[in-house]
Amino acid sequence: MTLSSTTPRGTALGAVVLARPWLAAALFIAAAGTGAILGAYFFEFVVGLSPCPLCLQQRTPYYAVIPAALVVAALAWKRAPAPVIRLGLLVLAGLMIWGASLGVYHAGAEWGFWQGPTTCAQPVAIARNPGDLLRQIQTAKPLADCTVAAWRFLGVSLAGWNVVIATVLAAVALVAASRPRENA
């Protein structure tokens, strides 16, 4: 059976998604996770929004999910045993659920639904002499408050958008893991 006979009038990408959903899901998660991190870097380094400690913590699941998704994609590409790939997809879903929960906590603190961290300041190196202290004061990035949204789009903060992105990626992984064995 060829790919073209299994797909109802679609593009080559559509054929891959239908025939190899585990591979497609893992690659999508890796690409979208990379896009999310690049977006965070854009807001930090181009727009100039200093990330608060919670913002930095929300990046951690993406740092883990990107290489993990590439490993799952490689396993799917090599047609590893189905339980191994499904377990990998469930790990990806777990990482993104962790990311979404961090975003929920941060967004809730921004909206005042609950108290955010009591010490929401970035770590500072201890100055050894007055000259070092002066240099630190002059070159320090402004501290970001975890309970204040630095930017909103459609009324949703970056933490809220992280919840949306991470939830979608978790759903993609869960749906892919529930799919039957990939076609030959």
Average pLDDT over residues 107-129: 67
pLDDT at 90: 96
Quote the pLDDT of residue 126: 66
Q: Which is more confidently placed, 132 or 125?
A: 132
User: How far apart (Å, rounded) are the C-alpha atoms in residues 17 and 9?
Assistant: 13
Whether residue 171 has pLDDT greater than 70: yes
pTM exceeds 0.75, yes or no = no
Task: Name which of 103, 124, 116 is nearest 166 in CA terms.
Answer: 103
User: Residue 45 belongs to a domain with what CATH number?
Assistant: 1.20.1550
Between CA 45 and CA 67 the distance in angstroms is 23
Domain that holds residue 156: 16-178
pLDDT score of 56 more than 60: yes
pLDDT at 133: 67
For residue 86, being part of any structural domain is answered with yes
Within-domain flag for 6 = no
In a domain, 4, yes or no: no
Residue 24 pLDDT > 60, yes or no?
Answer: yes
